[in-house]
Structure 1
Amino acid sequence: MQPKKKIYIALKFIIPAIIFLISIGFVSKKQEEKLCKKIVITIENQQGNFFINEGDIMDKVTKNGREMVVNLPFDNVKLKDIEQRIEALKFVQSAQVYRDLQGNMLIDAVQARPIARVFNPVGKDYYISDRGEILPVSERFTARVMVLSGSFFRPYLEKNLLIDQAGKDLFNFIQFIEKDKFWSAQFAQLEVNKSGMINIYPQVTKQIIEFGSVADYSEKLSKLKIFYDKILPDRGWNRYERVNLQFKDQIICE
């Protein structure tokens, strides 16, 4: 047999075999790319408040360990269902679940951020989030936020502070205080009665500030700033027991 013919016969069998092996490797690689290799969790908006962690989210992903996800084909993983389970966590504001080109499941969760704590004398305390939502307290972490009290909050517990105009108005005032470095450092507690009338208890001085309703709160805070800047340094920080800001263009001190 001629050498060229021998080479031709050999190649006739070798080339299909090589193509077959390459095809198997390619299919195997494609199958591997379809598997969930790793779960990568990112939690945003914590800002020093650690109410949820990666373990809490992983418990929702795996249904407390009953369902494995890693090494499972993505075709068998319902990303939308996982997203909804994560968003069911009270301290999760929103979540996105998706996959990347490397075969990882990516979870981006946004934590709800509390801005005040409601003292509830007949039950559990609650937080109010920066979106007006009512959040439960956590055994794991306590946020350093202003305290709210009074009968005003009873209709809103387990609901949302934004369900009516009175709640919205008070929320806007609370949010303003929380964002202002000076006032957030001054106020320890807001006591709000059923009619929405507010008494403020300061962090340092002993005066009860009779603030009244949230109407014209910018003007009232301006008067209170005058009280802090002009009156207290001159008369003494604990000379007065009550400061009334409810009357226009007046600061009444007792």
Structure 2
Amino acid sequence: MRAGMGYIKALALIVLVCFLFGFAEYRHKARKISDVEVSFTGGENLYVTEEVVNKLLIQNESAGSSVDKEILDLNRVESLLNSHEMIENAEVFVTLDGKLEAIVSQRKPIGRVMGNTSFYLDRNGKVMPLSQNYSARVPLMLGFNEKTAPEAYSVANFIKNDLFLREHITSIHRLDNAKLEMSVRDRDFKLYFGDTSNVALKFNNFKAFYKKAQKDKKLDTYKKVNLQFGDQVVCTKK
């Protein structure tokens, strides 16, 4: 008899636990979205602001504060954010207290094309529109269009990732023969780069030349510095 009562109590306890768990799960899913919080990777919200992201979320019916967490389609919300022309990637999730959080990574420009149409070339080699909120400090790209701009990706990306080059290269000019020529900050000479082969070698040669010529105080004596000949730098004096 006692054994039977023990089984009954154990069964009743299991049923009660299952009921409470199910009830809690139901209440959790039925809770409304309490708030929306947006954060940017690296702390930067240069090209798209928190206000813009919030508006995108609010405009999406599935992300409204009156929507149950069970109904909320996070994939749809992420797709909405990722479709924005200034956003590279967005992750959206709901916290235990019912807060909708979005972590946004913005696109990063590495060059700015100036011409009949103006736009950025981003770090993935894709065309990126200019922003009304912020102007990136990147080299100008002259003589390019949307079709030819990706040709200079390897060059512009190398400059972006090198502190010395970021400080000294101010523009990349695509010549009529599709070769590249660059301008150097505070210097009169043109830097002839040629085609986009051997990017690291050419730039390393240029850095070595620049530092040596600067030490010898000869930088202002040149009108052209040519990097197209592999392991040597050919200079033309004024």
TM-score (norm 2): 0.78
Whether 2:151 is the aligned partner of 1:155: answer: no
What is the distance in 1 between the residues matched to 2:36 and 2:229? 59
- Per the alignment, residue 252 of structure 1 pairs with 235
- With over 3 angstroms needed to count, the CA separation of the structure-2 counterparts of 1:80 and 1:218, relative to structure 1, is closer
Q: Which runs of 5+ in 1 are unaligned?
A: 1-22, 162-166
Per-residue CA shift, 1:59-89, capped at 9, x if unaligned? 111118x887124322343322222111121
Structure number with greater Rg is 1
Equivalent of residue 100 in structure 1, options 95, 112, 116 = 95
1:203 aligns with 2:171: no
Which residues of 2 match residues 1-254 of structure 1 at below 5 A? 30=27, 34-45=31-42, 47=44, 50-63=46-59, 69-119=64-114, 121-123=115-117, 125-151=118-144, 153-156=145-148, 161=150, 167=151, 170-193=152-175, 195-234=177-216, 236-248=218-230, 249-254=232-237
Q: How many pairs align?
A: 214
Cα separation, partners in 2 of 1:46 and 1:133, compared to 1, 3 Å: farther
Question: Given that residues 36 and 71 in structure 1 are in contact (C-alpha distance below 8 angstroms), is that contact kept between their aligned partners in structure 2?
Answer: yes
In 2, the alpha carbon distance for the partners of 1:75 and 1:222 equals 56
Task: Report if aligned partners of 1:45, 1:112 keep a CA contact under 8 Å in 2.
Answer: no
Q: How far apart are the structure 2 equivalents of 1:174 and 1:45?
A: 22
Q: Percent identity?
A: 19
- SS in structure 1 opposite 2:219? coil
CA shift for structure 1 position 233: 4.1
Q: Which runs of 5+ in 2 are unaligned?
A: 1-19
Q: Separation in 2 of the partners of 1:250 and 1:144?
A: 28
Query: Within 2, Cα distance between the matches of 1:156 and 1:76?
Result: 45
1:205 counterpart SS class: coil
When residues 56 and 30 of structure 1 are mapped into structure 2, their CA distance, relative to the original with a 3 A threshold, is same
Instruction: Give 2:8's aligned residue.
Output: none
List per-residue Cα deviations over 1:91-134 (Å, max 9, x = no partner): 11111222121111121111111121111x212x1111111121
Distance of aligned partners of 1:68 and 1:99 in 2 relative to their CA distance in 1, 3 Å threshold: closer
CA contact (8 A) 1:117 1:147 kept: yes
Q: Separation in 2 of the partners of 1:222 and 1:40?
A: 45
Q: Deviations over 1:20-64 (max 9, x none)?
A: xxx9xx78x9268621111121111465x6111111111111118
Please give the secondary structure, in 1, of the residue aligned with 2:220: coil
